[in-house]
Every structure is written in C-alpha cells, then in structure tokens.
Structure 1
Amino acid sequence: MTEPFPARLAPHVLSLLRIVTALLFLEHGLSRLFGWPSPIPTPPLFTMYWFAGAIELAGGMLLTLGLFSRAAALIMSGEMAFAYFLSHAPHGFFPILNRGDGAILYCFVFFYIAFAGPGPWSLDAVMSSARGSRGAMQPAA
C-alpha cells in the first residue's frame, strides 16, 4: 500500500522547516557579529554574547546547508535553552510576558531536527547517499 500524499511530503517539509528556521537564526548571528541586517552593537570578542553570535552564525550556516545537521541543531537547541533561562525566565514565568517565546520555539525546533535529521534536501543526505553507493560498488572481501 502506498503512503498518503501528506506522509510522502513529510521529509521534504522537514527540510523546508530546517532551511527556513536556520536562515532566521543566521540573521541573528549576522546582526550580532556584523551589525547586518539589524544594527546590533558587536559584542567584545570572546564574551558570552560573542559566543552566542558565533553559534548563531556558524550553526545557521551549517543547518541551512544541512551539513553536520544533528550536531549543529543540538548545540543551537542548547544555546536557546541557555538563553531562555538566562535572559528571559528571570523577567517572569509566562513566555508571552518575558518575551521568551522565540527562544523556546527555536530550542524545540532545533531539538526536533537533532533527532529527526535534516531531511532529504541537505548535504548530509547527499554525503550519506554517496557513501552508500560507494560501499555498494566495492567487491566483498
């Protein structure tokens, strides 16, 4: 029996979710470290906010490409959990009041991607496919 139409699209929608979320996250890193597209003051080198920007920039690029996706997503999820409890939670319990809903959403989307994988539109999938086809062509020992 063939899969229903929505189920067949699910892996591609996962790739789309990964790409869009990563591009939005990348925007935060670019703003924090380079003042573009939003002119956020660049933090001093090797401070907590500089490391946050570095994770947002590098992780956003890696996840957009789908390269080392699970590791990058797990690190980015951790950064967002850390950011929530450090910067948002002290201002109140409810995320709508402490303005932490974005951090929570990023945290759990990245956490999901760390376990679900990047989907078929990723360099990880291309490399996995290349390894699989290379292994199939080698003679048995």
Structure 2
Amino acid sequence: MQQIDLKKMNDEEKLLVDKAVEMIDYSYSPYSKYKVGAALMDSSGKIHSGCNIESVDFTLTSHAEMVAIDSMVKTGCIEVKSIAVAARGISNKPPTPCGLCRQKISEFNNDGSCKILLVNLDEKYRIKNIFRTTLDELLPYSFSSEFL
C-alpha cells in the first residue's frame, strides 16, 4: 500500500475518488455517524457508486462498497476493475474495506488485480490523504469457487 498525491493520479482514479467523496452526502448513518462513499469502475469502464445505509440493529446495514457492487450487477456487469472508498478518518490511517466487503469485491474480481483507492477525509470531509493498494494486498489467498 502506498500513499499517493491527488495531482499524480490518472483521470480514471480522480473520477472514482470524486464520485466516492460525493456519495458521502447520501450516506444514511444516523447511529454511528460514520459516513462512507464508494465508487467503482467495471470492466466496461462504467462507474457505479454507493453509500452506507445503516439500520438501527446494524445487522441490516448496507456497506458503501456492497451498494456500489450491487448497482453494477443489476446492469449485467460482473467484474470490478477498480474501486475508491472514502470516509472520514480519526487518524492518518486509510479507511480500508471491512472483511465482508473485501470478500464481496473478490467475488467480482477473481484474479485479485482490482485497484483500490482509500480516501481519508478530514472533519470537514476534505481529502486528507489517499492510498493505493490492490485486492490481493488486502485479501491474500481469498476464498473462491475453486475451493468448492
């Protein structure tokens, strides 16, 4: 995982970061107040986005990454090329996807090559820092259909 400069990102990465940050405005997180936005690019180059949607019992909570993937699948595409996740951090650590979201990304990126951009926002939801990694780095030896 490496920290990157917004100015050195390519147009595709900038577009994903901008859309992920925008999606935070739509987050429904009245209980945790932890707003998350995500935007992914599918294998055809189309952008799909999502935000977290909480439930009072938290078991029904939809994670931003999952909502973006669900949005992609309903269009008929089943391959994630890259994804950006944005959230307000309390430190300089990147807001990494949880284990469930890592596995869900893996379901739609079988070779682990999915590029993942992690966008850490400050208290006013401005970009503080950005990290670039891959699915393989976040979820090595992921569970897949080859084990079934």
Q: What TM-score does the superposition give when structure 1 sets the normalisation length?
A: 0.30
Give the strand-richer structure, 1 or 2: 2
Q: TM-score, normalised by structure 2?
A: 0.29
